[in-house]
Amino acid sequence: MNLNDIKKEFPIFDDKIQNNDLVYLDSANSSQKPKLVIDRINEFYTKQFSNVGRSVHYLAVAATNLYENTRTSVQKYINAKDKNEIVFTKGATEALNLVANTLGQKYLNEGDEIILTELEHHSNYVPWHYLRKSKNIKINFAEINDDGEIPIENIEKLITPKTKVIAINHLSNVTGAILPIKEITQLAHSKEIMVVVDGCQGAPHLKLDMQDLDCDFYAISCHKMYGPTGLGILYGKKKWLEELPPYQGGGGMIKEVKKDRITYGDLPNKYEAGTMATAQVIAFDQSIKFLESIGIDNVIKHEKELIEYGQEILRKNNSVKLIGSPKNKGGVLSFTIKGVHPHDIATILDEDGVAIRAGHHCCQILHDKLGISASARASIGIYNTKEDFDQLNESINKCKKIFEIK
């Protein structure tokens, strides 16, 4: 597949958005969808729809097979050891809540400590905060360095005999820093600490190998990965998923229900209560196929070139200040312009069809640390081009002109 033509695979780019060609630089928020993913949802509802895992009629069995096919595709894509280590959730947020909640029920005790980082998205902080409230768990934050990275030493020095969990992101949605998960996991496991990874930004852009990373849990957001909304994936090591209690109760997750006792289903059903996002799961198989057809090495190469180009352009632009300069960086460029509030930047850029995000990007801890209330963020996907960054720069210059900034 020629990466220069890849925009053609995404119908959103076919039409003008408010009379402009769309320059979509908000993929860290959510990615656009390839045509085959969109078509798959339509096809499933049109020709194949049934609920899964329950009825014995033809459509139900066929739909169940399709649903399970995606589980197998995901297992292979992320190189998990076992298909049952893949749990579908309603999003990465639910995946992280599931982990924090069930660990809180069975594994964590009063006084235990958890290490997070200052880069964490609220969805990898708030669920742990609940445990601080309900179980008196202590949370420590590993600090960023001047480049917006988390050096492993900053995690290591927080470890105490009471540390039970290290919960960290794979790729920062603000500074773009890629965390050394494998090294962190080795360190953690040597001290019998488990590692939970928020892989929302890592999964769409990096090579995933669960057996190599060796983390205990890894949360994925499918809508950031060229897939449908309403779907997330929790990878969890089998021993944990078997040992921990269920998260939600309902149909599909039980083995036997009596008036005086209930036994729970085997993996992965134990964690998939109620009717799941069936069409989304089935369509997500196409997202995986799409990524496989490009090849993750090509994705990484393309995005690295792009982000280096974007970084260079913005660095040359006076009065644009980039947030963080990690050596190992993914496709996120956050910045501020002295004298222009990020929301004003975003509104002015929007007039040219340049879609970016402005705000704290669900990372208030990080923005507090940086001493700013908000930032502007351009983030890329596989469909972006150098021309997109040229347009971004041009629109930033227009913004500076309006605000009379040199």
Q: How far is the CB of 374 from other proteins (least distance, A)?
A: 5
Please report, as ranges, the residues that interact with other proteins according to CB under 8 A. Answer: 339-344, 347-348, 351, 358-360, 364, 367, 373-374, 402-404
Q: How far is the CB of 336 from other proteins (least distance, A)?
A: 12
Check 215, 362, 363, 399 and give the catalytic one: 362
Three-point CA angle 122, 362, 123, nearest 5°: 25
Specify the residue, 132 or 343, whose C-beta has the smaller distance to other proteins: 343
Specify the residue, 90 or 398, whose C-beta has the smaller distance to other proteins: 398
Three-point CA angle 126, 71, 294, nearest 5°: 95
Q: In Å, what is the CA distance from 1 to each residue of 298, 301, 387?
A: 10, 14, 20
Specify the residue, 146 or 404, whose C-beta has the smaller distance to other proteins: 404
Runs of H (alpha helix) within 151-253: 152-156, 181-190, 210-213, 238-243
Q: How far is the CB of 345 from other proteins (least distance, A)?
A: 9
Buried b (16+ CB within 10 A) or exposed e, 61-80: eebbebbbebbebbbebbeb
Three-point CA angle 163, 164, 169, nearest 5°: 95
Runs of H (alpha helix) within 81-237: 92-106, 126-135, 152-156, 181-190, 210-213
Specify the residue, 114 or 358, whose C-beta has the smaller distance to other proteins: 358
Are the C-beta atoms of residues 237 and 299 closer than 8 Å to each other? no
Specify the residue, 5 or 404, whose C-beta has the smaller distance to other proteins: 404
Catalytic site includes residue 362 = yes
Q: How far is the CB of 377 from other proteins (least distance, A)?
A: 13
Q: How far is the CB of 286 from other proteins (least distance, A)?
A: 32
Q: How far is the CB of 122 from other proteins (least distance, A)?
A: 11
Specify the residue, 158 or 366, whose C-beta has the smaller distance to other proteins: 366
Specify the residue, 22 or 233, whose C-beta has the smaller distance to other proteins: 22
| Distance separating alpha carbons of residues 59 and 62, to the nearest angstrom | 5
Closest CA relative to residue 53, chosen from 289, 239, 282, 285: 282
Runs of H (alpha helix) within 295-351: 296-316, 342-350
Are the C-beta atoms of residues 81 and 211 closer than 8 Å to each other? yes
Q: How far is the CB of 348 from other proteins (least distance, A)?
A: 6
N-term to C-term CA, the chain: 42
Are the C-beta atoms of residues 18 and 270 closer than 8 Å to each other? no
| Distance separating alpha carbons of residues 367 and 355, to the nearest angstrom | 21
Residue 361, phi-psi category: left (phi > 0), alpha (psi -120 to 50), beta (remainder): left
> What positions carry a catalytic annotation?
362
